[in-house]
């Protein structure tokens, strides 16, 4: 039965995920040996604040992604099942490292409680819903993460001036986000293979609009809260943050085109093969490529 479903699935759809793609969990640790610096991003309040706000979402957010995608592993075609396994391992390690990064932010004096509560609130909204809802949210957020990762690696200005350990963490995370960017989407295609095309598009478009609104509103509010803790408030805080996000280096503005492609017919994350951004990463890094047993179990 499983085999029959697999062949039916493969005959109706060609997955654009590159056949020679390998998803490699790189079990790295960052920033354990240096004391935490408060304004680690070039001593800039707004730059530090937005990356810290983003990092606050990862420990619980990526555990949620793992939970949402793993539910669809049983019965998936073997290649996809294998990719889901590698995806969950990567995300489990990301959760661990961002948890450590967030603890360092706390040690340097930030109170992340409000930001963490907001993440929990958003995740709780889908927990009582059918598993396909969590998968849809994960699929949309994974596209969001992948285009942020692409921009982060494509333009060195985003991490210019950042402390070495922190910059390494963000680059490492970006590499793996690009590598596994098709997994949640392929799981979604597989899970909704019986849906009419129109229904599938309507749901994914609606979910993307919703998660984008929540993402932009929550990360902006989170960054402003952290800037307040640094004594920067009011118009000055808004001006610094909006300039940083939308003008220079302008991360949110620059991902606009890639974000829009999600709504086009026939979209797939691998329609843009951006593996050139990963070239040389593994060769230049000194790390243990084999995830420890603890991480493998967590995934």
Residues interacting with Fe ion, by CB under 5 A? 62, 91, 94, 177
Contact 14, 149 (CB under 8 A): no
Give the shortest CB-198-to-Fe ion separation in angstroms.
28
Give the shortest CB-230-to-Fe ion separation in angstroms.
27
Residue closer to Fe ion by CB (options 111, 273) is 273
The dihedral through the CA atoms of 188, 192, 196, 199 has a sign that is: negative
Residue closer to Fe ion by CB (options 62, 151) is 62
Residue closer to Fe ion by CB (options 179, 225) is 179
Query: Left (φ > 0), alpha (ψ -120 to 50) or beta: where does 41 sit?
Result: beta
Give the shortest CB-8-to-Fe ion separation in angstroms.
28
162: β partners: 41
Give the shortest CB-273-to-Fe ion separation in angstroms.
17
Give the shortest CB-248-to-Fe ion separation in angstroms.
26
CA–CA–CA angle 176, 178, 182 (5° rounding):
110
Residue closer to Fe ion by CB (options 175, 226) is 175
Residue closer to Fe ion by CB (options 90, 192) is 90
Residue closer to Fe ion by CB (options 46, 97) is 97
What size, in residues, is the chain?
Answer: 299
Give the shortest CB-2-to-Fe ion separation in angstroms.
27
Q: In the complex, which residue's CB is closest to Fe ion? A: 94
Give the shortest CB-89-to-Fe ion separation in angstroms.
11
Residue closer to Fe ion by CB (options 98, 240) is 98
């Amino acid at each position: 039965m499983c085999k029959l479903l697999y062949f039916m699935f493969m005959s109706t759809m060609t997955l654009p995920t590159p056949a020679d793609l390998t998803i490699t969990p790189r079990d790295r640790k960052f920033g354990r040996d240096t004391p935490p610096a408060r304004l680690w991003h070039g001593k800039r309040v707004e730059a530090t604040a937005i990356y810290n706000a983003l990092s606050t979402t990862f420990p619980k957010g990526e555990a949620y992604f793992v939970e949402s995608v793993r539910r669809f592993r049983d019965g998936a075609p073997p290649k996809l099942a294998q990719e889901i396994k590698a995806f969950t391992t990567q995300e489990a390690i990301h959760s661990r490292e961002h948890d450590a990064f967030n603890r360092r932010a706390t040690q340097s004096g930030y109170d992340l409680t409000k930001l963490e509560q907001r993440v929990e609130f958003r995740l709780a909204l889908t927990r009582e819903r059918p598993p396909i809802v969590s998968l849809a949210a994960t699929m949309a957020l994974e596209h969001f993460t992948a285009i942020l990762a692409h921009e982060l690696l494509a333009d060195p200005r985003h991490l210019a001036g950042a402390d070495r350990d922190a910059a390494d963490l963000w680059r490492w995370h970006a590499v793996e986000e690009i590598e596994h960017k098709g997994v949640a989407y392929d799981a979604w295609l597989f899970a909704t293979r019986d849906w009419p095309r129109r229904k599938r598009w309507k749901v994914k478009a609606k979910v993307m609009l919703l998660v984008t609104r929540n993402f932009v509103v929550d990360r902006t509010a989170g960054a402003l809260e952290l800037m307040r803790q640094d004594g920067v408030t009011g118009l000055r805080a808004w001006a610094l943050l909006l300039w940083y996000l939308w003008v220079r280096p302008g991360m949110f503005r620059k991902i606009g085109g890639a974000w829009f492609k999600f709504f086009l017919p026939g979209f797939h994350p691998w329609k843009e093969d951006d593996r050139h951004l990963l070239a040389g990463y593994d060769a230049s890094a000194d790390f243990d490529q084999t995830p420890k047993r603890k991480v493998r179990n967590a995934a």
